[in-house]
Amino acid sequence: MDELKKRILTDGRVLNSHVLKVDSFLNHQIDMGLMDRMGRAFFDHFKECGATKVLTVETSGIAVVCSLARYFHVPAVFARKTPSLTTVDDQYAAEIFSFTKQRAFTIMVNRRFLTPDDRVLLVDDFLAKGQALLGLINIVHQSGADPVGAGIVIEKAFQDGGSLVRDAGIEVYSLARIASFENGKVLFS
Ligand code: 5GP
């Protein structure tokens, strides 16, 4: 998606050889026009997949999943990272290790929001080492639903998440794929 790539080049900040900061339009302040056009781009790609739910992990995936849900006319669901002692028995749960926060989280989805009849399209802002997506796929499998694909805003193709998820049999469609960060510059695949 050319608009997204241009925005990454103008507003993205390469923090080190592995991490890109895009907090002026995606992760902190959100450009809703761009978000809407990204939702449309995901819809154009996945419109035949028969999704009945779109699913992400809080926090940064929420704006993305909402923009997709508007095009698919299905509920947007996000996995929580904060446990609730009162509802713990009603949750599907999976362990993930956060690449940016360098710590493990349990992600949880209430059992009422995923059923064996669901076809679930996964979404996230970044794909790095694949932990978030693999955790979501684990949860979808626990519910008996079908994961029908994964839409990613920015895939860092030099990390192994993309191949891990594709090897698990899930189609991954990324709006921007980054080959490397060289001397503080973003190079696209
Ligand atoms: P993974 O689970 O694939 O290792 O990492 C994906 C998650 O980590 C995303 O949900 C995203 O929030 C965060 N993440 C991974 N790499 C980056 C990055 O370069 N920049 C930002 N802002 N977040 C990242």
Per-residue pLDDT reduced to its tens digit, 134-182:
999 999 999 999 999 999 999 999 999 999 999 999 999 999 999 999 9
Q: Give the residue-averaged pLDDT of 91-101.
A: 90
Would the CA dihedral through 169, 174, 179, 182 be positive or negative?
Answer: negative
Q: Which domain holds residue 100?
A: 2-188
What local confidence, expressed as pLDDT, does residue 99 receive?
A: 79
Which residues are near ligand 1 (CB < 6 Å)? 19-21, 27, 57, 60, 98-100, 124-132, 161
Q: How far is the CA of 100 from the centre of ligand 1 (A)?
A: 6
What local confidence, expressed as pLDDT, does residue 86 receive?
A: 64
pLDDT-derived band at 82 (thresholds 50, 70, 90) equals confident
Whether residue 106 contacts residue 83, with contact meaning beta carbons closer than 8 Å, is answered with yes
What local confidence, expressed as pLDDT, does residue 46 receive?
A: 98
What local confidence, expressed as pLDDT, does residue 87 receive?
A: 61
Residue 98, pLDDT > 90, answer no
Ligand 1 atom at shortest distance from the alpha carbon of 99: 4
What local confidence, expressed as pLDDT, does residue 145 receive?
A: 98
Whether residue 74 contacts residue 53, with contact meaning beta carbons closer than 8 Å, is answered with yes
Q: How far is the CA of 72 from the centre of ligand 1 (A)?
A: 25
Would the CA dihedral through 53, 149, 91, 100 be positive or negative?
Answer: negative
Give every strand in the sheet of 146-156, ordered side by side: 76-79, 53-57, 119-127, 146-156, 172-182, 185-188
How many structural domains does the chain have?
A: 1
Q: What is the CATH number of the domain that holds 115?
A: 3.40.50.2020
